[in-house]
Structure 1
Amino acid sequence: MWVIDEPREVREVLLDPETFRPDNAVVAHRSLSVKALRALSSVGFALPPTLANNGGPSHRPIRAAVARFFSPARVAAVEPLTRRLVAERVADASARSQSDVVDLVEVVAAEPPALVLLDLLGLDDVDVPALKAWSRESLELFWGWPDEDRQLELAHSAAEFYAWLRKRTEAARAHAGDDLFGVLVELGLSDEEVCAVAYFLLIAGQETTTQLISAAFHRVIGSGRACLDAPVDLVEEVLRESSSVPTWRRVTSRAVAVGEVELPADAPVLLGLTGHGGPADLAFGLGIHRCLGAGLARLEARVALECAADLLSAVAAVEAEPPMIDLLSFRAPARLLVRR
C-alpha cells in the first residue's frame, strides 16, 4: 500500500472522496481462503456498499438514518447510564484488586460501551459477551493476518454473527419498530444492506471505544500523572498520539499527486490518522465518512477516566508491557493486569 501519514495530506485525502474512494475500507486485508469464504457464504454473508465502504448516492440517506441515533442530544442523554455502568464495574475491580490481579480491560472497559450503544440503538435481548467476541474476531478476520486455519475459525464466528443479524432483520420486517433494524428496513434497504450496516456499526460503535478506554487507562497506570484533573485533555492526547484506530484505507480512482509523489489509479492507500502530529479530531476521519460515534466515544472515554480515577492511582501494572491488539487499523492493549 501507499502510506500517507503527513496530517495535512491525510486531511486532503479524506476530503476528496471522489479521488480517494472508500471501496476497500472493509475488504479483508489478507485474502480469505476458500474454506473461509464457504463458511461465510453458508449464511449469505455479504457487505454491499452502505456506510464506510460506500462512495455512491445511497451513502447519504443511509448515513442520515443512522446519524439520528448519535445526535448530540441523544449522546448527552446517555451520560448517566454510562457513568452508572462504569462506576459499577470500577467498584468491582477495586474490590477484587485488594487481594487479586484484575484485568481492567475485561472488568471495566469491555461491556459499558456495548451496553450504551445497544441502548442508543434501541436494541434489547442481545448477548453482550457474544457480541464482544464476534466483534474482536471480525476485526481480526478483516484487519489481521490470520493463517488459513485461524481464518476458518474467525469466519465461523463472523457467520454466526451474520446469521443473528439476519434473524433480527427478518423480525424487523415482520414487526418494524423504531430501533436500528426497524429504521433500516423502513428506509427500503435490502436484507444484505441492513445486515451490512448493522454488522460494522455494532462492532465499531462499541469495540473501538473499549479499545480507546483501554489505551487511556494504559497511559495513566504507573505514570504518576493526575489524569483526573483533566480527563478531557487526556482523551484528546490519546486520540492524537495512540488512538485505537491508527490507520484507515482508501483507493485511488485515478492517477493523482500527493505532495511530490505520483500515485497511479487503483492504488491502495493507508492513511495514518494518529501519532504523526495531527489534531485529535483526525482520529475520527473527516468529511462525509467521519465517524458517526466521535462524540459518544469521547464522552465514554472521559466518563471512564473520571470514574476510575481513584482506582488508577492506586494500582500498579503486573506486566511491563501488556499484549496488544495489533491489527492493520486497530491497536490497543488486549489486557491490563493490575494489582494494588
Structure 2
Amino acid sequence: MTVDDRFTPAADDRQDAPLEGTRNEIITGPVADWATDFSHTEGEWAADPYPIQDDLRQRCPIAHTERFGGGWLPTRYEDVAAIAYDTESFSSRSIIMSNFRPPKEIAPVGGVPPISSDPPFHHDARKLLLPAFTKTEVSKREAATRAFCHALIDAMEGQEVVDAARDYAQHIPVRVIADMLGFPQEDGPRFREFIESALEGVNLPPDERVANMGRLFDYLLVQIRDHVDRPREDLTTFLIDAELYGQKLTPDHVAGTMALLLIAGIDTTWSAIGASLWHLAKTPADRERLVAEPELLPTAMEEFLRAYAPVTMARLVKEDLSWNGVEMKAEDWILLSFPAANRDPAYFERADEVVIDREANRHVAFGLGIHRCVGSHLARMEMRVALEVWLERVPSFTLADPDAVTWATGQVRGPRTLPIRRR
C-alpha cells in the first residue's frame, strides 16, 4: 500500500492549530475566596476538593473566577446536568479550561473529535467509534487485561511497600489503549508525558503548551504513517479507512480522535482505579467485605465512581446570556464538575459517604448528555478486572504513609503516587 496523501508531511501542517486563538494571562496562586476566585489547578483543590464543593453548593452554587479569562463553576447536580444537555448555549469546542481559548472557527469539529464537537457533526463523529466500544468488543480484551494485571503484581514480588498508582493502576489503561490503537507497548512512558502535559500543564505559557501538543501530534502522525504502510486490524487502521459524509476523515480528525483516546482513555481510568485502591487501603471494613464478598464488587465499583469521579469537563459560553441568576459572557468558561454533581445531597442520600452496597446509584462519573463517555464499557471492564485481581492477590493492605499520597491537579483527579503496604 502506498502512503496515503492525507498523511504526507505537507498535509500535517497543522495538528496544533486548534490551540491557537484568544490567549489569556496566566493566573496562578492561592485562592482568596472560592466563590469569586476559584481555580481547579491549585494544590488545595487537588488534595481534597469535596469540602470546597460542599461549601460552594450551600452559599454560592455557581461560583465565578476571573482567572483563565473568566469562568463559572456550578456545583449542584441540576445545574451541571442542565448545562451538559444545553448544546445551544454552550460549546464543546474546548474541553480543557486553560489560559487560552481555541478559535471559534474550529467548531463544530474541534481539536479532538467527537468530545470537542458540537451538533450536528458530533452525532456522526461519535457514531463512528461506537462499534469499537460495545460490551461485546470490550469483552474480547478482558483475558489479556487480567493476565497483564497478574503480571504487574508478579513484578512486585518481595516488595512490602509498592506504589499502587505508578506500579499498577497507571500501567493498565496504557497497555489496553496501546493495544487498541496498535501502538508500541514500550511507548507507555511517552503516553504519561503527553497526558500530564495536556491535563496538568494548563498554566504553561501558550507557546510552550502548543509545542507540547505539537509533539503529541507528531508522534501520532508517525504511528499513522506506519499504519498506512503496514495496515493491521486495530483502531488506528479503522480510523484511517473510515468515511464520513462520503469522504475519508481529514488528518486532523484522525489524529485528534487518536489523541482523545490516548489522553482521555488512559488518565480517567487509571485515576478511577487508583482512587478505589486508595479508599480500600484506608477503609479496612470495606476492603475486608469485598474480599469476603467478591460478588459485591460491581456495585462497590459504581459507588467508587460516584464518590471519586475523576472527570471534570469544560464548555464555552456561545453568546452573552443570563443563566440561573448569573450573567455569563460569550467565551466564558464553564467547568462542569461531575464530581460535585455526584455529591449533591439533593440528589444522593448520604452523598458524602462511600456506601459500597448502594443500590440506586445514577451517578454521572461518565458525563451527561451527548458527550457521555463512549468508552464507559471499556473503563468499567479495566476497573473491575484491576480491582478483582488486586483483591485476589493482595487481600490485606494499608496506606504506607497517608501524607505521601499525591493527587493530580486539573480536570482529571486521581492519585499520582499511592504508597501501599502489603501485609
TM-score, normalisation: structure 2: 0.68
Residue 180 in structure 1 maps to residue 235 in structure 2: yes
Query: Is the Cα contact below 8 Å between 1:237 and 1:280 reproduced in 2?
Result: no
Q: 1:264 to 1:13 in 2, by over 3 A?
A: same
Comparing 60-69 with 195-204, greater Cα deviation is found at 60-69
Alpha-carbon offset, residue 318 of structure 1: 2.1
CA shift digits 1:99-140 (9 cap, x unpaired): xx3111122112121212233345456622222332223222
Query: Is the Cα contact below 8 Å between 1:221 and 1:313 reproduced in 2?
Result: no
What is the correspondence of 1:170-249 to structure 2 with a 5 Å cutoff?
170-174=225-229, 176-186=231-241, 187=243, 188-227=248-287, 228=290, 229=293, 230-245=296-311, 247-249=312-314
Q: For residue 285 of structure 1, give the secondary structure of its aligned residue in structure 2.
A: coil
The letter of the residue matching 2:371 is H
Deviating runs (4+, > 6 A) in structure 1? none
Alpha-carbon offset, residue 262 of structure 1: 4.4
Residue 13 in structure 1 maps to residue 87 in structure 2: no
Q: 1:250 to 1:61 in 2, by over 3 A?
A: same
Corresponding residue of 1:40:
none
Corresponding residue of 1:270:
335
The letter of the residue matching 2:203 is W
Q: 1:281 to 1:295 in 2, by over 3 A?
A: farther
Q: CA RMSD in A?
A: 2.7
Alpha-carbon offset, residue 74 of structure 1: 0.7
Query: Is the Cα contact below 8 Å between 2:405 and 2:419 reproduced in 1?
Result: no
Corresponding residue of 1:307:
389
The letter of the residue matching 1:29 is S
Corresponding residue of 2:72:
2
Corresponding residue of 2:145:
82
Q: For residue 217 of structure 1, give the secondary structure of its aligned residue in structure 2.
A: helix
Q: For residue 250 of structure 1, give the secondary structure of its aligned residue in structure 2.
A: strand
Whole-angstrom distance in 1 between the partners of 2:323 and 2:250: 38
Instruction: Give percent identity, aligned residues only.
Output: 25
Whole-angstrom distance in 2 between the partners of 1:226 and 1:22: 38
The letter of the residue matching 1:81 is A
Whose relative contact order is higher, 1 or 2, with alpha carbons under 8 Å and at least 6 apart?
1
Alpha-carbon offset, residue 311 of structure 1: 5.3
Query: Is the Cα contact below 8 Å between 2:165 and 2:417 reproduced in 1?
Result: yes
Alpha-carbon offset, residue 285 of structure 1: 1.1
Comparing 15-24 with 308-317, greater Cα deviation is found at 308-317
Q: 1:96 to 1:243 in 2, by over 3 A?
A: farther
Larger fraction in helix? 1
Of 174, 194, 213, 1:134 maps to 194
Alpha-carbon offset, residue 334 of structure 1: 0.9
What is the correspondence of 1:298-337 to structure 2 with a 5 Å cutoff?
298-310=380-392, 312-337=394-419
Whole-angstrom distance in 1 between the partners of 2:381 and 2:94: 30
The letter of the residue matching 2:333 is P
Query: Is the Cα contact below 8 Å between 1:65 and 1:183 reproduced in 2?
Result: no
Query: Is the Cα contact below 8 Å between 1:215 and 1:333 reproduced in 2?
Result: yes
The letter of the residue matching 1:198 is M
Segments of structure 2 that go 5 or more residues without pairing to the other structure are 1-70, 102-108, 348-360
Alpha-carbon offset, residue 292 of structure 1: 0.9
Alpha-carbon offset, residue 257 of structure 1: 4.7
Corresponding residue of 1:41:
none
Query: Is the Cα contact below 8 Å between 2:200 and 2:408 reproduced in 1?
Result: no
Residue 166 in structure 1 maps to residue 221 in structure 2: yes
The letter of the residue matching 1:249 is A
Alpha-carbon offset, residue 52 of structure 1: 1.5
Whole-angstrom distance in 2 between the partners of 1:280 and 1:119: 31
Corresponding residue of 1:295:
377
Query: Is the Cα contact below 8 Å between 2:200 and 2:410 reproduced in 1?
Result: no
Of 170, 185, 203, 1:145 maps to 203
Segments of structure 1 that go 5 or more residues without pairing to the other structure are 33-45
Q: 1:305 to 1:176 in 2, by over 3 A?
A: closer
Residue 110 in structure 1 maps to residue 170 in structure 2: yes
Which has the greater radius of gyration? 2
Query: Is the Cα contact below 8 Å between 2:90 and 2:315 reproduced in 1?
Result: yes
Q: 1:311 to 1:222 in 2, by over 3 A?
A: farther
Q: For residue 282 of structure 2, give the secondary structure of its aligned residue in structure 1.
A: coil
Corresponding residue of 2:120:
57
Q: For residue 266 of structure 1, give the secondary structure of its aligned residue in structure 2.
A: coil
Query: Is the Cα contact below 8 Å between 1:20 and 1:252 reproduced in 2?
Result: yes
The letter of the residue matching 2:416 is A
Alpha-carbon offset, residue 218 of structure 1: 0.4
Whole-angstrom distance in 2 between the partners of 1:119 and 1:250: 31
The letter of the residue matching 1:145 is N
Corresponding residue of 1:67:
130
Q: How many corresponding residue pairs?
A: 317
Q: 1:87 to 1:258 in 2, by over 3 A?
A: farther
Q: 1:266 to 1:164 in 2, by over 3 A?
A: closer
